[in-house]
Amino acid sequence: MISETFQIVSAGLFAVAIIAVASLRGWQGWLSLKTRELDLITAGRAPEIEGGAGSGMARIEIADLKERIRKLEAIAAGVDL
């Protein structure tokens, strides 16, 4: 008959194989998700940034905030605009 040690070793090897296959499937799923996200970004349909603004609107908002900061710094320095 098969020895008890051989049964334990084969069961452990089988468990490791199952865990490896499940991990690889998860990894492939994650990679496909990231690939789809990159495809959306390059196609111009990027997910919306906080507040519901697309990436173009976000750039405009950042430029507006920079302008406001520049004006506030000028006021703090006592310079009239």
Query: Among 24, 42, 44, which residue's Cα sits nearest to residue 32?
Result: 24
- Regarding whether 26 and 7 lie in a shared domain, the answer is yes
Q: Which domain holds residue 40?
A: 1-44
Are 31 and 58 members of one domain?
no
| Structure confidence at residue 18 (pLDDT) | 97
pTM above 0.75, yes or no: no
- On whether the CB atoms of residues 56 and 50 are closer than 8 A, the answer is no
pLDDT in tens, 32-69: 999 998 888 777 665 555 555 566 677 788 888 999 99
The pLDDT of residue 24: 96
> Do the domain assignments include residue 18?
yes
Phi and psi angles of residue 2, each rounded to the nearest 5 degrees, phi first: -80, 135
The verdict on residue 49 lying in a domain is no
Number of domains in the chain: 2
Predicted pLDDT at 52: 57
Alpha-carbon distance 54 to 44, whole Å? Answer: 10
Is 8 a domain residue?
Answer: yes
